């Protein structure tokens, strides 16, 4: 089935669902006009040439290289410290998936390492004459570290602007709070998205969680959720004893523990995710790992009129907020709302010096437009709001201090529009 036919099928599904979004949530606000979606075609006649290359961290000193080819080929990565010294080689696995009448290309996953920290490596995918050489840089093993943070990225002209600005930031790792491709059942858009982000995602680790646009269930026709997401964006969930690609954790730079949670899988007390999170938080030694950062998709705190009262926000907050508070989590980043908002440290809807800072960063560039309407009057716990496209930078300098900055990209240049110095809760005697 071609893209045009899939688009028509999607339109029929939307008409069937009526006033509901694809995930069954009633729209309670009017979005600005949609923006043009970019489609990036395959630029090589050789179906064996690698494309949609992206990397992710596995453990302390390894990287997963993921890519797609049109035909079957070796899941092999050769790598080394220079283009002329590619002396190491690793092999991995190859898979594919079906979605209605769509059949994916061959999805290759190879883990390479051990790798030295803060080091550039060159890696070659495929066999001649179809092989291509790329380069990556590993994160540092000690602080400082710089994270780029974004959500609801999509693939529009705004997305291109966001990616250009992120690339200039010289980041070490990207954290994405769900809603990647906005494929919405049109699987060729997953391919397009992989090509769009490859220039960045092939050079620095991209660590992602899922959003509602990754669900892609069609009643009767395709009942399995997250098929494309799980197949294309495999994260290191096994390494953190998780049983699902939808939630996992990892350590980076010897001082930051990052937790990716799933807003659209079970999270109630007693669920697998709840029990995993409870155990994961207990394992963190804050004397060695002073910072804990959490990413979700549906925000627990939100003064925008968009996405109010959704169970993925309200019920997940009721189930998990206490765990995060008791563990003294420092940041909670969310997407879903297509705007930027930063809250003070908060717990149970009140300012609390021992609670995490909640930040909504769902303004990466999606095709649905910005959510421009906010609750009036603004809650006291909301520090900064702006409905503009942009991205965030979290610079963790040492065991006690970090700088958060949000950069608007409505113009040709990224403009720092909000920033705040923050100290880890482990450095506050009142929170120990």
**CB-based contacts of 41: which residues, under 8 Å, 6+ apart?**
192, 195
**Catalytic annotation on 257?**
no
CA torsion sign, 383 to 155 to 188 to 137?
negative
Please tell me which residue in 213, 307, 336, 391 is annotated as part of the active site: 307
CA distance 134 to 123: 5
* 268-288 per-residue burial string, b: 16 or more CB within 10 A, e: under 16: eeeeebbebbeebbeebebee
Measured from the Cβ of residue 82, the count of other Cβ atoms closer than 10 Å reads 11
CA distance 96 to 228: 9
Strands 350-351, 340-347: pairing kind: antiparallel
CA distance 151 to 246: 16
Question: Hunting for tokens 């201090």 — which residue is that?
Answer: 401
Backbone angles phi, psi at 102, to 5 degrees: -85, 140
CA dihedral 329, 330, 332, 333 (to 10 degrees): -150
Strands 357-361, 331-334: pairing kind: parallel
Smallest Cα–Cα separation from 334: which of 368, 307, 361, 316?
Answer: 361
CA distance 189 to 104: 12
DSSP states along 194-230 = HHHHHHHHTTS-EEEE--GGG---BTTTB--TTHHHH
CA distance 25 to 264: 12
Q: Residues 197, 203: contact at Cβ < 8 Å?
A: no
**CB-based contacts of 69: which residues, under 8 Å, 6+ apart?**
47, 48, 49, 50, 51, 105, 106, 108, 126, 130
CA distance 226 to 28: 25
Q: Return the DSSP state at 25.
A: P
Residues annotated catalytic, as ranges: 307
């Amino acid at each position: 089935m071609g893209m045009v036919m899939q688009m028509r099928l999607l339109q029929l599904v939307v008409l069937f669902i009526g006033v509901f979004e694809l995930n069954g949530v009633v729209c309670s606000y009017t979005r600005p006009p949609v923006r043009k979606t970019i489609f990036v075609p395959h630029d090589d006649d050789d179906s064996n040439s690698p494309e949609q290359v992206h990397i992710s961290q596995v453990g302390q000193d390894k990287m997963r290289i993921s890519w797609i080819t049109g035909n079957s080929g070796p899941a092999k990565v050769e790598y080394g410290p220079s283009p002329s010294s590619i002396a190491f080689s690793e092999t991995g696995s190859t898979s594919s998936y079906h979605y209605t009448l769509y059949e994916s290309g061959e999805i290759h996953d190879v883990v390479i390492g051990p790798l030295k920290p803060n080091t550039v490596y060159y890696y070659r995918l495929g066999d001649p004459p179809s092989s291509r050489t790329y380069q990556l840089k590993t994160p540092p093993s000690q602080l400082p570290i710089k994270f780029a943070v974004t959500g609801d990225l999509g693939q529009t002209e705004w997305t291109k602007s966001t990616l250009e600005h992120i690339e200039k930031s010289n980041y070490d790792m990207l954290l994405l709070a769900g809603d990647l491709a906005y494929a919405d059942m049109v699987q060729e858009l997953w391919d397009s998205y992989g090509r769009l982000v490859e220039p960045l995602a092939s050079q620095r680790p991209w660590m992602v969680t899922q959003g509602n646009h990754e669900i892609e269930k069609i009643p009767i026709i395709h009942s399995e959720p997250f098929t494309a997401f799980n197949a294309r964006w495999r994260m290191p969930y096994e390494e953190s004893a998780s049983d699902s690609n939808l939630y996992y954790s990892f350590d980076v730079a010897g001082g930051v523990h990052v937790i990716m949670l799933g807003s659209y899988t079970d999270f109630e007390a007693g669920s697998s995710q709840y029990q995993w999170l409870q155990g994961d938080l207990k394992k963190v030694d804050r004397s060695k790992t002073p910072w804990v950062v959490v990413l979700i998709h549906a925000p627990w705190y939100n003064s925008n009129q968009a996405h109010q009262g959704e169970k993925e926000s309200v019920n997940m907050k009721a189930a998990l907020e206490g765990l995060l508070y008791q563990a003294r989590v420092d940041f909670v980043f969310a997407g879903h709302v297509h705007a930027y908002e930063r809250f003070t440290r908060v717990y149970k809807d009140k300012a609390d010096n021992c609670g995490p800072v909640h930040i909504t960063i769902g303004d990466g560039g999606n095709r649905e437009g910005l959510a421009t309407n906010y609750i009036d009057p603004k809650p006291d716990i909301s520090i900064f709001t702006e409905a503009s496209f942009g991205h965030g930078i979290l610079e963790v300098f040492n065991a006690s201090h970090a700088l958060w900055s949000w950069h608007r990209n409505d113009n040709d240049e990224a403009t720092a529009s909000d920033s705040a110095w923050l100290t880890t809760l482990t450095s506050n005697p009142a929170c120990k």
